[in-house]
């Protein structure tokens, strides 16, 4: 997390601001060009500067470029095509710009590099634009580095802006730098630096601290896009730490970051368990698999696999008693289930195919060891469910093996048919000795500030997936709300009412009665009823 950014210095002098490497011969900009910009307050003599393209170097002709002025470099052959856009300097020798990418540099008479950019085809960020006819433009000339985050495809209708301010010009733009944890060991931390680590400058090891304890690090090294940090004091297992990175320079900006990390313990079989499986989704939705950390360890999911698919390549801790949901479409799953907890989702590019009839779900750790494996069939769903599309199979007990007969069963339809990222609707570690369904309180209040649902009844059953029907009657014996109509429920929970009739009108105060019927999968039938008082608090205001 970035908690401070401050510009320390700006790029000044002669800079490269636009590159047309792949022109469209049928377009208005039908020639290769490189645009230069004098980002200083002094006039610059170009005769003292060399242009280098890949391994080819060329001294620029004599030309005085004034402050805040642009200049288009092109071949002599195409100079006339570009003159209507601005000042053009025709070069006697033109090195063709590679469409896939190349290095371009400006070098002064002392062999000092004034500016350098190694553009790539991927920088366009668009399959349409990287096929030609569009230039690459620098976003902010004050940013002192050139990488994919500081350049992008032109958004000009003609495909570029030679000799003029870039179409993507934004002097408030600051380049982003992201540190991703690769690995945490007791004595070392490895980070991946996104967006060109060579633009990162860390003067010394004092710019890193470990909290708690305000620990200094022993040393660090940067190569390619990786930072390796060596520690004086080993990190304890499963203890939350923060790596503080203070006042490091990136592209002329000073950054401070705080990165949470954990030295996670080794995992054993069933530390993490497969807790819920949706293999027959609703139309418009997708499959998901939920896991649960039943251990007392914080477990890092980095490099773990669901079947043969990597779950995440990033550091991702899962604390004890936490859930994670794996899917390819977070929004589709979240929108389908009211109990879904979005914070527990991990979006994968692909998950294994889970057939509707039967299949196997396998969870492996980063060392390719199987941590849990469950075989499922559609026959595990409750027999009385006519349509199981969109209904998951949930693990009832986290203490029993997932493949033990009866441990996987249909999620309650009362709560929407699945609970991704939330405690299972059929979760139980202890089973009630007898069926019970009773009022939470004998007095129910209609709130003055709205009609939010409140718990009315609390239940505990000897079996999961009881089918329940609940009707509320007024004091005259009239049914005013068929609250629940043949829904399946788990072992225990609460049933809610908002104090309204079936048409959404608030019910007046008075005496009411609930009547409930339950039917088990074995055909056992039982009824419950009781009276209660409804107090209409709205009348007090």
Q: Is the dihedral of CA 163, 168, 171, 176 positive or negative?
A: negative
Could you read off the pLDDT of 87-117 as tens digits, one per residue?
999 999 998 999 999 999 999 999 999 999 9
How confident is the model at residue 411, as a pLDDT?
Answer: 92
Start-end ranges of CATH 2.60.40.2550 in the chain?
436-540
Could you read off the pLDDT of 22-57 as tens digits, one per residue?
998 877 899 999 999 999 999 999 999 999 999 999
Please state, in angstroms and as integers, the Cα–Cα distance from residue 478 to each residue in 270, 455, 474, following that order. Answer: 52, 22, 6
Nearest-5° Cα angle at 530, 526 to 532: 155
Nearest-5° Cα angle at 338, 336 to 342: 85
Residue 112 is classified by DSSP as -
How confident is the model at residue 4, as a pLDDT?
Answer: 58
Report residue 482 CA to chain centroid gap.
41
Q: Which residues of 484-497 are buried (b: 16+ CB within 10 A; e: fewer)?
A: beebbbbbbbebeb
User: Which of 199, 44, 201, 15 has its CA nearest to residue 105?
Assistant: 15
Report residue 49 CA to chain centroid gap.
46
| Helix, strand, coil % over all residues of the chain, rounded to 5 | 5, 45, 50
Report the range out of 181-195, 361-375, 427-441 with the highest average pLDDT.
361-375
pLDDT band at 281 (very low <50, low <70, confident <90, very high): very high
User: Which of 396, 405, 338, 411 has its CA nearest to residue 376?
Assistant: 405
Backbone angles phi, psi at 326, to 5 degrees: -105, 125
Q: In a 3-state reduction of DSSP, which class is residue 493?
A: strand
Start-end ranges of CATH 2.60.40.1260 in the chain?
9-153, 272-410
Query: The tokens of 167 are what?
Result: 């179409």
Return the biggest CA–CA distance within the chain.
102
Could you read off the pLDDT of 58-67 as tens digits, one per residue?
999 999 999 9
How confident is the model at residue 1, as a pLDDT?
Answer: 45
Beta-carbon count within 10 A of 448 CB: 11
Start-end ranges of CATH 2.60.40.1220 in the chain?
178-262
Helices (H), 130-215: none
How far, in Å, CA of 392 to CA of 325, rounded? 13
As a whole number, mean pLDDT of residues 240-265 equals 87
Helices (H), 29-109: 79-82
What residues have CB less than 8 Å from 317, skipping those under 6 apart? 260, 262, 264, 298, 299, 300, 301
CATH number for the domain running over 9-153? 2.60.40.1260
How confident is the model at residue 541, as a pLDDT?
Answer: 44
| pTM of this structure | 0.59
User: What whole-number percentage of the chain has pLDDT above 90?
Assistant: 63
As a whole number, mean pLDDT of residues 330-343 equals 95
Please return the burial class of 199, using the count of CB atoms within 10 Å of its CB with bins 0-12, 13-18 and 19+.
Answer: buried
How far, in Å, CA of 19 to CA of 124, rounded? 11
How far, in Å, CA of 328 to CA of 348, rounded? 5
Residue 237 is classified by DSSP as B
Q: In a 3-state reduction of DSSP, which class is residue 536?
A: strand
CATH number for the domain running over 436-540? 2.60.40.2550
Q: Is the dihedral of CA 428, 431, 436, 441 positive or negative?
A: negative
CATH value of 272-410 in 3.40.50.1220, 2.40.30.10, 3.40.50.300, 2.60.40.1260 = 2.60.40.1260
Query: The tokens of 417 are what?
Result: 């048919």
Residue tagged 């997932």 (tokens): 402
How far, in Å, CA of 130 to CA of 121, rounded? 6
CATH value of 178-262 in 3.30.565.10, 3.30.390.10, 2.60.40.1220, 2.60.40.10 = 2.60.40.1220
How confident is the model at residue 197, as a pLDDT?
Answer: 64
β-sheet bridge partners, residue 375: 360
User: What whole-number percentage of the chain has pLDDT above 70?
Assistant: 95
What's the whole-number average pLDDT of the chain? 90
How far, in Å, CA of 104 to CA of 124, rounded? 17
């Amino acid at each position: 997390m970035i908690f401070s950014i401050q510009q320390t210095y700006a790029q000044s002098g002669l800079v490269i601001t636009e590159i047309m490497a792949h022109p469209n011969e049928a377009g208005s900009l039908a020639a290769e060009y490189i645009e230069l910009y004098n980002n200083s307050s002094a006039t610059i003599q170009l005769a003292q500067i060399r242009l280098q393209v890949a391994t080819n170097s060329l001294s620029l002709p004599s030309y005085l470029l004034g402050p805040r002025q642009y200049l288009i470099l092109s071949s002599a052959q195409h100079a006339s095509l570009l003159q209507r856009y601005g000042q053009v300097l025709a070069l006697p020798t033109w090195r063709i710009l590679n469409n896939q990418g190349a290095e371009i540099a400006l070098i002064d008479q002392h062999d000092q590099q004034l500016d350098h950019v190694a553009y790539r085809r991927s920088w366009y960020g668009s399959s349409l634009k990287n096929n030609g006819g569009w230039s690459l433009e620098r976003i902010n000339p004050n940013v002192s580095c050139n990488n994919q985050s500081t350049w992008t495809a032109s958004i000009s209708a003609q495909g570029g802006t030679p000799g003029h301010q870039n179409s993507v010009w934004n002097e408030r733009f600051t380049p982003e730098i992201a540190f991703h944890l690769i690995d945490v060991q007791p004595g070392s931390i490895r980070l991946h630096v996104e967006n060109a680590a060579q633009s990162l400058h860390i003067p010394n090891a004092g710019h890193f601290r470990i909290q708690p304890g305000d620990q200094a690090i022993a040393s660090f090294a940067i190569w390619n896009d990786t930072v390796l940090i060596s520690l004086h004091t080993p990190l304890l297992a499963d203890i939350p730490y923060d790596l503080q990175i203070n006042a490091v320079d990136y592209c002329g900006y000073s950054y401070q970051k705080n990165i949470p990390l954990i030295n996670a313990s080794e995992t054993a079989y069933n530390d993490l368990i497969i807790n819920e499986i949706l293999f027959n989704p609703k139309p418009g939705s997708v499959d998901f698999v939920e896991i649960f950390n039943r251990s007392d360890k914080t477990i890092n999911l980095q490099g773990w696999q669901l079947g043969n698919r990597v779950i995440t390549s990033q550091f991702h801790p899962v604390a004890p008693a936490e859930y994670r949901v794996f899917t390819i479409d977070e929004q589709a799953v979240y929108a389908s289930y009211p109990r879904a907890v979005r914070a527990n989702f991990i979006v994968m590019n692909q998950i294994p195919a889970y057939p509707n009839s039967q299949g196997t779900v396998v969870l492996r750790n980063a060392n390719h060891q199987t941590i849990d494996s469950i075989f499922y069939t559609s026959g595990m769903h409750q027999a009385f469910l006519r349509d199981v599309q969109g209904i998951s199979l949930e693990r009832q007990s986290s203490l029993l093996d997932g493949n033990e007969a009866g441990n996987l069963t249909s999620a309650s339809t009362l709560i929407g048919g699945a609970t991704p990222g939330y405690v299972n609707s059929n979760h139980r570690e202890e089973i009630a000795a007898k069926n019970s369904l009773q009022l939470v309180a004998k007095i129910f209040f209609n709130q003055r500030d709205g009609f939010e649902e409140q718990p009315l009844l609390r239940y505990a059953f000897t079996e999961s997936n009881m089918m329940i029907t609940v009707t509320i009657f007024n004091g005259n014996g009239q049914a005013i709300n068929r609250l629940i109509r043949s829904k399946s429920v788990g072992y225990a929970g609460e049933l809610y009412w908002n104090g309204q009739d079936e048409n959404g009108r608030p019910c007046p105060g008075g005496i009411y009665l609930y009547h409930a019927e339950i039917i088990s999968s074995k055909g056992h039938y039982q009824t419950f009823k009781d009276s209660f008082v409804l107090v209409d608090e709205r009348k007090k205001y």
